[in-house]
Structure 1
Amino acid sequence: MTRIVLVAVWALGAGMGTHDALADMAQAPAPIVIGHRGASGYRPEHTLASYEMAIDLGADFIEPDLVSTRDGVLIARHENEISATTDVAAHPEFAARRTTRTIDGTPVTGWFTEDFSLAEIKTLRARERIPAIRQRNTVYDDRYEVPTLEEVIRLVQRKERQLRRRIGLYPETKHPSYFDAMGLSLEEPLVSMLHAHGYRQRSSAVFIQSFEVGNLRQLRHHTRLRLVQLVHDSGRPYDFELNGDPRTYADLVTPAGLAEVATYADGIGVNKNLVVPRDSAGNLLPPTTLVPRAHALGLIVHAWTFRNENTFLPLSLRVAGPNGADMPAFYGKAIDEYALFYRLGVDGVFSDNPDTAREAMRRQGSVGVR
């Protein structure tokens, strides 16, 4: 499968001629679609139902964010604080466990996975995290359990047999320094579980991602699986803060920073504002040169997060409601946003709506059509 795309502005800006740019793009594989927390635009995130729907809608990979239970089992939650994504507050037997913890330097109040055994976690049910925007998803509240990593892997392998195509895993280690300090390291059980289920080689359909740097360096010594350095458009890795390292995420995408990332990771997973910035009003600005600079070092580039709703889209792609009303939950021109990033050469997109990501590829010109 090859990508058929227009010549991107960045390619010309980097000194690449039109013929060379077209030749390189013709050889490039189609970008992958990563089901961000599953198909979280349609089902409560990080549930088996969300992951399965993402696969059925065409996702190449699904993304489980991983935290730990008190007994050291990896489970899929966006955060270890679970009041927004489960019904834990409705369980009187757990009322006394509400507490305040400092997570990556920020005080957070609620219920935390590390205070629960797996058996206790399994008594909870998942809920929609942003009901004001995704009210339709709330019809599925309290229907699904919180899955373990092993349950996610088994789902993926079952769907591979059913659909007869390869489906990848894209796990993220959440707050690794925090969990390390509690004696609940995420890296060892993650690698052990993946290896035990046959994911051992660089060619395996797995990417392991983290916003921290130290745990990716550690992982490089323990697995051949591909690693991805996550990069935000502000702030800095929390392990840098702990270690007194003054560098920020912005430093990681400088020429020197990318060269260092390339010594331990296979790619970068970037906030899409680092590829196409926005001004304070939400208007798109000219693209940066991040994608070609990363590619020149052999790094893949996966951008996040793509969503259909107006509130997440740049101003020019939002669709007004009746009488020009601002409708944050309305779907905007999301396909146009995907098309822009595909033209700029990203290697993958994290999407809450994998079917929209696929449709944008089809409209781009037979890109990614199975």
Structure 2
Amino acid sequence: MAANGPIIIAHRGASGERPEHTLGSYERAIDQGADFIEPDLVSTKDGVLVARHENEISETTDVAAHPEFADRKTTKTIDGQSLTGWFTEDFTLAELKTLRAKERLPQLRPANTAYDGRWDVPTLEEIIALVKRREQETGRRIGLYPETKHPSHFRALGLPLEERLVATLAKAGYDGADDPVFIQSFEVDNLKRLNGMTALPLIQLMASVAGPPDRSGVTYAAMSTPEGLAEIALYADGVGLEKAMVIPRTADGKLAAPTRIVKDAHAAGLKVHVWTFRRENYFLPAEFKAGENPVAVGNVGAEIRAFLATGIDGLFSDNVAEAVAAKR
């Protein structure tokens, strides 16, 4: 699984340049030199794993334009949040395949809307097939970094993600500790379940606020202490940290001094991967913005280099080319 220095993980593919979680986005990321591509996985009604950032798909597909599915619109509570829209678990794969993907952030990424409708919603098997084909064409290993999205929700529906994910990966030859795969989740119990099902490395995702949806009263802040990180090391191989946990921002929006969390995680034997680097001004620290327009492209490379200096082992970026260049 070794890469030359910290790994570059294509966040939902090259999602800064193509609609996220499409074969076009993943292929663009591979062309730009990503070490890993990241599919977020949810389930269809008939138990097929597909790539969507959320199981609610109105922002990333044209489902609202399909009158035949108008009666599928509903309101559900997902991880404590009330959401209204259309949900993958209410569609068979055949039905989902009639939809077309679209740009999720058209106001920030208007150029990506030119690709609306070009691709459908890909299955995990289709993503693996793309990776295998591009490995043959390029002669280099391309990793997979799947995230199990809302695993407790899907297990409660009788559509568990873990068993299907492990079986699909194993069928494709991914089942060892040194294979180029990381499995990630914001939840805890499903990672513990996966730890007993596969030797593939596991990543505990954490945010700067809140806590794991399946652990009431537990906060990510508590999990990020030396004691909390030691507990994570019992079932996972690394942590996926929101940027602010590694380098917070000052009151005026600039980067502050780094925290101890990278050193503490390494002391616990955990890898540290950081999310998410994006080039638009809207997402950047104040010192790296280019003017005031939130859509303008700033200096994300400088931001990435500041984080690389903390000793992180990898990073997620919507903009693979800029991330690869910053690592050189």
TM-score, length of structure 1 as denominator length: 0.87
Unaligned runs of 5+ in 2: none
Q: Distance in 2 between matches of 1:188 and 1:328?
A: 42
Q: Deviations over 1:10-53 (max 9, x none)?
A: xxxxxxxxxxxxxxxxxx95000000000000000000000000
1:284 aligned partner, one-letter code: L
Q: Distance in 1 between matches of 2:59 and 2:252?
A: 28
Quick one: which of 196, 221, 230 aligns to 1:259?
230
2:234 aligned partner, one-letter code: T
Give the superposition deviation at 1:153. 0.4
What is the match of residue 64 of structure 1?
39
Instruction: Confirm whether residue 189 of structure 1 aligns to residue 152 of structure 2.
Output: no
What is the match of residue 129 of structure 1?
104
Contact between 2:226 and 2:268, CA under 8 Å: does it hold in 1? no
Give the superposition deviation at 1:283. 2.0
Q: Distance in 1 between matches of 2:179 and 2:266?
A: 21
Quick one: which of 275, 300, 306 aligns to 1:340?
306
What is the match of residue 273 of structure 2?
302
Q: Deviations over 1:89-135 (max 9, x none)?
A: 00000001100000001110000000000000000000000000000
Give the superposition deviation at 1:285. 1.3
What is the match of residue 351 of structure 1?
317
Identity of aligned residues (%): 60
Q: Flag as ranges the 4+ runs of structure 1 deviating above 6 A.
A: none
Q: Distance in 2 between matches of 1:62 and 1:280?
A: 34
What is the match of residue 25 of structure 2?
50
Instruction: Confirm whether residue 250 of structure 1 aligns to residue 216 of structure 2.
Output: no
1:223 aligned partner, one-letter code: T
Q: Secondary structure, in 3 states, of the residue corresponding to 1:259? A: helix
What is the match of residue 187 of structure 2?
212
What is the match of residue 112 of structure 1?
87
2:294 aligned partner, one-letter code: P
Q: Secondary structure, in 3 states, of the residue corresponding to 1:42? A: coil
Give the superposition deviation at 1:342. 1.0
What is the match of residue 230 of structure 1?
205
Which region of structure 1 is more displaced relative to structure 2, 110-119 or 285-294? Answer: 285-294
**Residue correspondence of structure 1 range 103-182 to structure 2 within 5 A:** 103-182=78-157
What is the match of residue 250 of structure 2?
279
2:297 aligned partner, one-letter code: Y
Larger radius of gyration: 1
Q: Distance in 1 between matches of 2:264 and 2:237?
A: 14
2:64 aligned partner, one-letter code: A
What is the match of residue 329 of structure 1?
295
Give the superposition deviation at 1:281. 3.6
Question: How many residues are aligned here?
Answer: 327
Give the superposition deviation at 1:256. 0.6
2:280 aligned partner, one-letter code: E
Q: Secondary structure, in 3 states, of the residue corresponding to 1:304? A: strand
Q: Distance in 2 between matches of 1:184 and 1:31?
A: 35
2:261 aligned partner, one-letter code: L
TM-score, length of structure 2 as denominator length: 0.98
Unaligned runs of 5+ in 1: 3-27, 321-325, 363-370
Q: Deviations over 1:331-352 (max 9, x none)?
A: 1111100111111111001010
Q: Distance in 1 between matches of 2:61 and 2:200?
A: 31
What is the match of residue 91 of structure 1?
66
Contact between 2:250 and 2:256, CA under 8 Å: does it hold in 1? yes
Q: Deviations over 1:128-167 (max 9, x none)?
A: 0000000000000011010000000000011100000000
Q: Distance in 2 between matches of 1:193 and 1:343?
A: 37
Q: Distance in 2 between matches of 1:46 and 1:251?
A: 32
2:289 aligned partner, one-letter code: R
Q: Distance in 2 between matches of 1:279 and 1:341?
A: 16
Q: Secondary structure, in 3 states, of the residue corresponding to 1:256? A: helix
Q: Distance in 1 between matches of 2:29 and 2:300?
A: 17
Q: Secondary structure, in 3 states, of the residue corresponding to 2:167? A: helix
Q: Distance in 1 between matches of 2:252 and 2:101?
A: 34
Q: Secondary structure, in 3 states, of the residue corresponding to 1:67? A: strand
CA RMSD between the two structures: 1.1
Quick one: which of 285, 289, 294 aligns to 1:314?
285
Q: Secondary structure, in 3 states, of the residue corresponding to 1:238? A: coil
Give the superposition deviation at 1:293. 1.0
